[in-house]
Structure 1
Amino acid sequence: MTAPRYASQDERDAAAAELGAQLARIAAAAGVLLPPARELSWCRAGFVGETTVPDGPDSPDSADGPDGAALPVPDRADVRWKRDASAPHLLLRRGRGTQAQGWAPDLTGAVRAAAAWLAGADLAAIRRAAPFLHVPDWAFVHERASLDRVELYWRTRLEAFAHGPYPTRAEVRALWEAAFAEPRLRRLRPVSSHFTLWFSTKSDYPFERVGAAVEPLHTGGYLVRGLATGPVTVTTPAEAAALAVAALPPEPSS
């Protein structure tokens, strides 16, 4: 998505306000309640709905406050649109995870689905009301009994690669999928920087790196660093993930 060239901050603010006003008009015409956008830019409107109260400090859907106590996390709906003939993208988030996303046929469809979600609709209702959205099976599992934070983060990132608003390099997505398929890596929190993937024993910042880091190369293949034998380049993501597993400390004996 390429941003227009605005001559001043005032022009950028005006473009954001125009998008917000347009979405408000669409909601009024559709007869649905959409709260004012909490975040606005020329191409994105972020809405916040009713607060989801976490079960406790260990809830995967809670945020951590300054004293370590769990904080409630609000439902969110994000509409992204290039302000042209292209389809808008809608993302629905509850707690820490994105439960549904996809390309709406038009802004009215996106606004209707966003309003329903922010009013507390469950995933079954969203799937009926907005069949254009991708609602993965794991999201229904998470709705009934929360996935842990690491599992939820993995799932959310993989869904973003497949159905998010921005294209992802094929080799990056393939690496994440190969790592997710390895049980020992899947138990670790994935962290990425400039497409390099590494793993943390902690589920939240500050992360604690363990094992190897894998960089997808533009020229093909994967560069694996952090091995006892030094950096190695391999051809497939499965090979890279296997080396990352091999670089992990031995598992404690039972």
Structure 2
Amino acid sequence: MHVLGTAFAFVLTIGLFASCGGATYNSVKRMQKMEEGVSNPTTVEELTEAIKKYDARALDLVTTQEQVGIWYKILGTRYLDREMYGEAMECFQRAIETFPNNANLYYYLAISAGYTAHTALDFSANGGADAKLKQQRYLRLAEEAYQRALTINPKYYRAMYGIGVLYVFELGESEKAIPYVEEFLRNQTKDTNGMFLLAHAYCDVGELEKALELYDRIITLNSNPDLTEDAKRNKQVVLNSLHGVQ
């Protein structure tokens, strides 16, 4: 997709400063900030403009690329805040080109791709096939991004929970979610959301006794009255299923 338009059509070159002679990089940066007003951009518009100017004019290519990567990360989070998920996804993909071992970037990419999957539309009007194909591509991208985040940081608990949600509620592959969410709860021992998620996965694969144990844990914790009531209702549904009650 080309939603970012010409704002991100980079021309990475240092030839523009070939005539600077002995000028230092810091002096060029200071002159650039004074001349172009690129100092500490914060808004979407400022970040977009900064990327264009800094990327096209900087003297030190490596330092420039790092700065642009940082701005892409910031811009991506701004787009996430605005619920502009496709744009956010592209920004995080570009940031990863600069920082390929940053687990946070893969996590944010996974979040963005997951949300983007829900906005996939069938513009060809061919019965929804295109939309479903797009949705699956985005969901698999989210899966891959979560896995990459966990490869880089095996104790990235948010990614464990995120991929669990993806498998249970988006991809319908609860058996794949179980090891991730089990590991999540071994460390986040009082996280009731994780318990609900794992209980759901257990029910999906027929491990009803394990699901009951988790609902009992939630009820015992009683951290939130509404969640406790939800756990009681879910427990009763599981008990009815075990005893063959319709």
The question of a shared fold, defined as TM-score above 0.5 by the shorter chain, is answered with no
Larger Rg over CA atoms: 2
**Higher percent of residues as helix:** 2
TM-score normalized by structure 2? 0.30
TM-score normalized by structure 1? 0.29
